[in-house]
Amino acid sequence: QIGGVIFDLDGVLTDTAEYHYRGWQKLADEEGIPFDRQKNDLLRGLPRRESLLAILGDCTVTEDQLQEMMERKNRYYVQLIEEITPADLLPGVNELLEELQQKEIKIAIASASKNAQTVIERLGIGHLIDVICDGYSVQRSKPAPDLFLYAACQLDLTPDQCIVVEDAASGIDAASLAGMLTVGLGPVERLGKANLVLPNLENVHWADLIAGLSP
Ligand code: B16
Ligand code: MG
């Protein structure tokens, strides 16, 4: 019996990927490191540190430089997300969250981002969310199952009572390792390992999720 849905944030409920991209691009330009949207797509779902290491590639930097660059990119990002409004919710999200709340299905957010709280506030969906798990909640990031297991625990549910909705391959891996049913949003090439793959949440209702996930 499914009792809860755990949503990733960036790329699932809203498209902060664009703001992450702009933050990284500004940093890369300042540092003279080649970077573009295509390279940014490989960063989907990666935590801040891993994203920077991937951008730097073979360039070696000191830990202090690494920290400074992460802080700088975050300053750009924090500035950009100040502009987020409820209009930035992706299509179908508000409707699905409201339906889940009406049906008394618990809702958690499990995001790798340390800015998840701010983004949720700005989206105006705080009242629909039971539990927010973010980049401060656990040590090991996705694809480790830790964040999703932590979220299930906070919802007072067992892993097999949870559905995870993710846009990143690493997130699907993490949720599968946690023993949860998975819904991947995006192209099959990226999310083929999910139990159910959908383009996005537009017109997706609780019944569609249950039907799509049943064996
Ligand atoms: P921050 P998610 C992830 O969030 C993003 O997809 C990823 O691009 C970002 O680098 C990461 O959060 C860390 O974010 O720098 O704000 O701590 O997809 O897990 O909701
Ligand atoms: Mg994501």
pLDDT tens per residue, range 139-184: 999 999 999 999 999 999 999 999 999 999 999 999 999 999 999 9
Query: What CA dihedral angle connects 46, 52, 58 and 62, to 10 degrees?
Result: -130
- Per-residue pLDDT, 205: 98
Residue 17 has pLDDT above 90, yes or no: no
Q: Ligand 1 center to residue 11 CA distance, Å?
A: 9
Return d(Cα 61, Cα 31) in angstroms, integer: 12
Please list every protein residue whose CB sits less than 6 Å from any atom of ligand 1: 8-11, 20, 43-48, 51, 74, 111-115, 135, 168
- Per-residue pLDDT, 22: 96
Residues catalogued as catalytic: 8, 10
CA distances from 7 to 75, 150, 151, 184 (A): 25, 13, 10, 11
Q: What is the pTM of this model?
A: 0.94
Return d(Cα 178, Cα 5) in angstroms, integer: 14
- Per-residue pLDDT, 4: 98
- Per-residue pLDDT, 215: 82
Residue labelled with tokens 């502009």: 83
Q: Which atom of ligand 1 is nearest to the CA of 142?
A: 19
Query: Which tens digits make up the pLDDT trace of 33-85?
Result: 999 999 998 898 899 999 999 999 998 899 999 999 999 999 999 999 999 99
Task: Share the mean pLDDT of the chain.
Answer: 96
In degrees and rounded to multiples of 5, residue 126 shows phi and psi of -50, -40
Q: Ligand 2 center to residue 214 CA distance, Å?
A: 24
Residue labelled with tokens 């991937």: 54
Q: Ligand 2 center to residue 34 CA distance, Å?
A: 24
- Per-residue pLDDT, 169: 94
